[in-house]
Amino acid sequence: MAIRGNLLRTIVLLLSTRLPFVTSASATLTTCLSSANLQPISSSSSDYTADSLAYNRRLSYKPADIVFPTNEQDVASAVNCASQVGVKIAARSGGHSYAANGVGGEDGSLVIDLKNLNSVKVTASNQTAVFGTGIRIGDLALALFNGGKQAMAHGTCPYVGTGGHLGCGGFGLPSRLWGLALDAVIGAQVILANGSIVTASSTENQDLFFAIRGAAPSFGVVTSLTVKTQSAPSSNVFFNYVFSPLNVTMAVETFLAYQNFGANDAPPNLGMNVELGNGDFEMSGVFYGPTSNFSAVIRPLLDAVPQQPKSESVKTYDWLGILTQLAGSDGSLNTSTKADVSDTFYAKSLMVEENAPLTKTALQSFFNYLYGPGTTTDTSWFILADLWGGPSSAINVVPSTQTAFSHRSTLYTFQFYASSSNSAPPYPSDGISFVDGMVSSITSNMSGTDFGMYSCYVDPQLSAAEAQQVYYGNATTTRLQNIKSQVDPMNIFSFPQAIENVPDPESTAQSAAQRGAAPYAAQLGVIAALLLDVLLPVV
Ligand SMILES: Cc1cc2nc3c(=O)[nH]c(=O)nc-3n(C[C@H](O)[C@H](O)[C@H](O)COP(=O)(O)OP(=O)(O)OC[C@H]3O[C@@H](n4cnc5c(N)ncnc54)[C@H](O)[C@@H]3O)c2cc1C
Q: Is residue 322 part of a domain?
A: no
**Quick one: pLDDT at residue 277?**
97
**Quick one: pLDDT at residue 330?**
62
**Quick one: pLDDT at residue 502?**
76
Cβ–ligand 1 distance for 168 under 6 Å, the answer yes
pLDDT at 527 over 70: no
**Quick one: pLDDT at residue 26?**
82
Looking at ligand 1, which residue's alpha carbon is closest to its atom 13? 155
**Quick one: pLDDT at residue 328?**
84
**Quick one: pLDDT at residue 528?**
46
Strands 89-92 and 110-113: parallel
**Quick one: pLDDT at residue 271?**
98
Number of Cβ atoms within 10 Å of the Cβ of 500: 17
Q: Is residue 510 part of a domain?
A: no
* CATH code where residue 364 lies: 3.40.462.20
* Domain shared by 355 and 262, yes or no: yes
> How far, in Å, from the CA of 209 to the mean position of ligand 1?
18
Q: What domain range is 39 assigned to? A: 25-113
Query: Which of 68, 405, 456 has most ligand 1 atoms within 8 Å of its beta carbon, as the pocket-test mutant?
Result: 456
* Domain shared by 46 and 32, yes or no: yes
Looking at ligand 1, which residue's alpha carbon is closest to its atom 14? 456
Distance of alpha carbon 164 from alpha carbon 222, whole angstroms: 9
> Are 418 and 379 within 8 A, CB to CB?
yes
* CATH code where residue 99 lies: 3.30.43.10
**Positive or negative: CA dihedral 111, 112, 118, 124:** negative
Q: Can you tell me whether residue 310 is helix, strand or coil?
A: coil
> Are 446 and 362 within 8 A, CB to CB?
yes
Per-residue pLDDT tens over the stretch 209-224: 999 999 999 999 999 9
Query: Which of 59, 92, 417 has most ligand 1 atoms within 8 Å of its beta carbon, as the pocket-test mutant?
Result: 92
Give the bridge partners for 277, in sequence order.
280, 382
> Are 337 and 51 within 8 A, CB to CB?
no
Cβ–ligand 1 distance for 285 under 6 Å, the answer no
> How far, in Å, from the CA of 165 to the mean position of ligand 1?
4
Residue 120 CA to its chain's centroid (Å): 20
* Domain shared by 240 and 227, yes or no: no
Q: Which residue has the higher pLDDT, 197 or 503?
A: 197
Domains of the chain: total? 3
Length reported for the chain: 539
Closest listed residue to residue 464, CA positions, set 218, 279, 239, 246: 218
CA angle 277/407/229 to nearest 5° reads 90
Cβ–ligand 1 distance for 93 under 6 Å, the answer yes
* Domain shared by 169 and 294, yes or no: no
Per-residue pLDDT tens over the stretch 25-75: 888 999 999 999 999 999 999 999 999 999 999 999 999 999 999 999 999
Q: Is residue 366 part of a domain?
A: yes
pLDDT at 412 over 90: yes
Per-residue pLDDT tens over the stretch 117-154: 999 999 999 999 999 999 999 999 999 999 999 999 99
Distance of alpha carbon 411 from alpha carbon 265, whole angstroms: 12
pLDDT at 195 over 90: yes
Distance of alpha carbon 175 from alpha carbon 269, whole angstroms: 9
Per-residue pLDDT tens over the stretch 427-478: 999 999 999 999 999 999 999 999 999 999 999 999 999 999 999 999 999 9
The per-residue b/e assignment along 94-105, b for 16 or more CB within 10 angstroms, e otherwise, is bbbbbbbbbbbb
> How far, in Å, from the CA of 170 to the mean position of ligand 1?
8
**Quick one: pLDDT at residue 300?**
98
* Strand stretches in 197-268, DSSP E: 197-201, 221-228, 230-231, 236-243
Query: Which of 52, 67, 97, 275 has most ligand 1 atoms within 8 Å of its beta carbon, as the pocket-test mutant?
Result: 97
Q: Point out the domain boundary residue: 85, 113, 141.
A: 113
The pLDDT confidence band at residue 407, using thresholds 50, 70 and 90, is: very high
Per-residue pLDDT tens over the stretch 292-339: 999 999 999 999 999 999 999 999 999 999 999 999 876 789 999 988
Q: 379 to each of 62, 371, 419, how far by Cα in Å?
A: 27, 14, 6
* Domain shared by 304 and 436, yes or no: yes
Per-residue pLDDT tens over the stretch 365-406: 999 999 999 999 999 999 999 999 999 999 999 999 999 999
Q: Is residue 266 part of a domain?
A: yes
**Quick one: pLDDT at residue 505?**
59
* Domain shared by 90 and 128, yes or no: no
pLDDT at 2 over 60: no
pLDDT at 526 over 90: no
Q: Residue 66: in which H helix or E strand, if any?
A: strand 65-67
* Domain shared by 433 and 300, yes or no: yes
Cβ–ligand 1 distance for 348 under 6 Å, the answer no
* Domain shared by 105 and 75, yes or no: yes
Cβ–ligand 1 distance for 109 under 6 Å, the answer no
Q: Residue 7: in which H helix or E strand, if any?
A: helix 2-18
Query: Which of 98, 136, 165, 487 has most ligand 1 atoms within 8 Å of its beta carbon, as the pocket-test mutant?
Result: 165
Distance of alpha carbon 2 from alpha carbon 69, whole angstroms: 40
* CATH code where residue 210 lies: 3.30.465.10
Q: Can you tell me whether residue 185 is helix, strand or coil?
A: strand
Greatest C-alpha distance within the chain: 95
* Domain shared by 305 and 433, yes or no: yes
Distance of alpha carbon 55 from alpha carbon 46, whole angstroms: 20
**Quick one: pLDDT at residue 507?**
52
Per-residue pLDDT tens over the stretch 92-115: 999 999 999 999 999 999 999 999
Q: Which residue has the higher pLDDT, 234 or 513?
A: 234
Q: Is residue 305 part of a domain?
A: yes
> How far, in Å, from the CA of 153 to the mean position of ligand 1?
15
The pLDDT confidence band at residue 486, using thresholds 50, 70 and 90, is: very high
> How far, in Å, from the CA of 464 to the mean position of ligand 1?
18
Cβ–ligand 1 distance for 160 under 6 Å, the answer yes
Q: Is residue 452 part of a domain?
A: yes
Cβ–ligand 1 distance for 40 under 6 Å, the answer no
* Domain shared by 156 and 186, yes or no: yes
- Mean per-residue pLDDT for 224-229? 98
Q: Which residue has the higher pLDDT, 8 or 358?
A: 358
Q: Point out the domain boundary residue: 428, 460, 492.
A: 460
Cα radius of gyration rounded to whole Å, the chain? 25
The pLDDT mean for the chain works out to 91
Q: Point out the domain boundary residue: 203, 231, 259.
A: 231
Distance of alpha carbon 293 from alpha carbon 303, whole angstroms: 16
Q: Is residue 531 part of a domain?
A: no
> How far, in Å, from the CA of 516 to the mean position of ligand 1?
32
* Domain shared by 201 and 243, yes or no: no
- Mean per-residue pLDDT for 282-299? 98
Ligand 1 atom with the shortest distance to the CA of 92? 30
Distance of alpha carbon 538 from alpha carbon 230, whole angstroms: 64
* Domain shared by 312 and 426, yes or no: yes
Q: Is residue 85 part of a domain?
A: yes
